[in-house]
Structure 1
Amino acid sequence: MRIKIIASIIFCSFLVSSVSCHVKSVYSSVYDSLTYKGLVRTYLIHVPPGYVNTKPTSMIIALHGGFGSAVNIENQSLLSIKSDEANFIVVYPEGVRVLGVRTWNAGGCCGAAASFNIDDVGFIDTLIEKLSAEYTIDQKRIFATGISNGGMMCYRLASDLANKIAAIAPVAATMVIKTVVNPSRAIPIIHFHSFNDTNVPYTGGIGSGVSGHYNPPLDSVFNVWMNVNGCVKKDTIKNDQDYLLVKWSNCINNSEIHFYLTRDGGHSWPGGVKYLPGDEPSKVINADDLLWDFFQSHPIPDSTSAVNEQCNKIPNKFKLFQNYPNPFNPVTEINYQLPENSFASLKVYDVLGTEVVELVNNWMEAGTYKVTFNASSLSSGIYFYSLTAGNNHELRKMVILK
Structure 2
Amino acid sequence: MTIVLFTIFSFTGCRRRDSIPIDNVFRFKEILTVDGLQRTYTLNLPPTYYTSSDFSLVIAMHGGGGNADQFETTSKLTDKANTAGFIVVYPEGVQSDGLLKARTWNAGGCCDYARDHNIDDVNFIRQLINHLISTYKINPKRVYATGHSNGGMLSYRLACEMPEKIAAIATSSCTMVVKQPCNPSRPVPVLHMHSVKDEHVPYKGGVGISNAYFPPVDSVLNVWSAINACSNPAQVLVNDNRYKYTKWSDCEDNATIQYYLTQDGGHGWPGGLPGGPNSDTPSTVINANDLLWDFFQQYQLP
Contact 1:53 1:135 in 2 (8 A): no
Distance 2:185 2:208 in 1: 31
Structure 1 residue 54: Cα displacement: 5.5
Q: Which runs of 4+ in 1 moved over 6 A?
A: none
Distance in 2, matches of 1:197 and 1:29, equals 33
Which blocks of at least 5 consecutive residues in structure 1 are unaligned?
1-23, 303-402
Q: Deviations over 1:351-370 (max 9, x none)?
A: xxxxxxxxxxxxxxxxxxxx
Partner residue in 1 for 2:78: 80
- CA distance in 2 between partners of 1:214 and 1:259 (Å): 21
Q: Which consecutive unaligned segments of at least 5 residues does structure 2 have?
A: 1-7, 9-25
Aligned residues: 276
The structure with the larger Rg is 1
Question: 2:161 maps to which residue?
Answer: 160
- Write the deviation string for residues 315-338 of structure 1: whole angstroms up to 9, x where unpaired: xxxxxxxxxxxxxxxxxxxxxxxx
Q: Distance in 2 between matches of 1:159 and 1:165?
A: 10
Q: CA deviation at 1:202?
A: 0.3
3-state SS of 1:185 partner: coil
**CA shift at 1:29, angstroms?**
3.5
What's 2:246 paired with? 246
- Please tell me whether residue 195 in structure 1 is matched to residue 171 in structure 2: no
Report the Cα distance in structure 2 between the residues aligned to 1:167 and 1:115, rounded to whole angstroms. Answer: 28
TM-score w.r.t. the length of structure 1 is 0.67
Inter-partner Cα distance in structure 2 for 1:226 and 1:130:
32
Deviations 1:212-271 (A, max 9, x none): 221001111011100000011121000000000000000000110000000000000000
Q: Distance in 2 between matches of 1:77 and 1:273?
A: 6
Counterpart position of 1:228: 227
Q: Show the 5 A alignment for 1:351-366.
A: none
Distance in 1, Cα, partners of 2:51 & 2:180? 40
1:117 corresponding residue in structure 2: 118
Q: Quick one: which amino acid aligns to residue 219 of structure 1?
A: D
Residue in structure 2 matched with residue 36 of structure 1 by the alignment: 34
Match of 1:131, SS state, is helix
Identical columns (%): 51
For the 8 Å contact 2:152–2:171, the answer to whether it is kept is yes
Secondary structure at the counterpart of residue 52 of structure 1:
helix
Q: Which residue of 1 aligns with 2:21?
A: none
TM-score of the aligned structures, taking structure 2 as reference length: 0.89
Q: CA deviation at 1:299?
A: 1.3
1:129-158 C-alpha deviation (Å, 9 max, x unpaired): 111111011111100000000000000000
SS in 1 for 2:224: helix
CA distance in structure 2 between the partners assigned to 1:280 and 1:213 by the alignment: 22
Higher relative contact order (CA 8 A, sep 6+): 2
Counterpart contact for 2:71–2:275, Cα < 8 Å: no
* Per-residue deviation, 1:30: 2.4
Match of 1:46 among 37, 44, 47: 44
CA RMSD between the two structures: 1.7
1:52 Cα offset (Å)? 3.2
Structure 2 equivalent of residue 377 of structure 1: none
Q: Aligned partner of 1:198: which letter?
A: E
Q: How far off its partner does 1:53 sit?
A: 6.8
- Mapped to 2, the partners of 1:105 and 1:215 lie a distance apart of 15
The match for 1:361 is none
Contact 1:171 1:191 (C-alpha < 8 Å) held by counterparts: yes
User: For 2:226 and 2:264, how far apart are their aligned partners in 1?
Assistant: 30
1:282 aligned partner: 283
Structure 2 CA distance, aligned partners of 1:125 and 1:249?
29
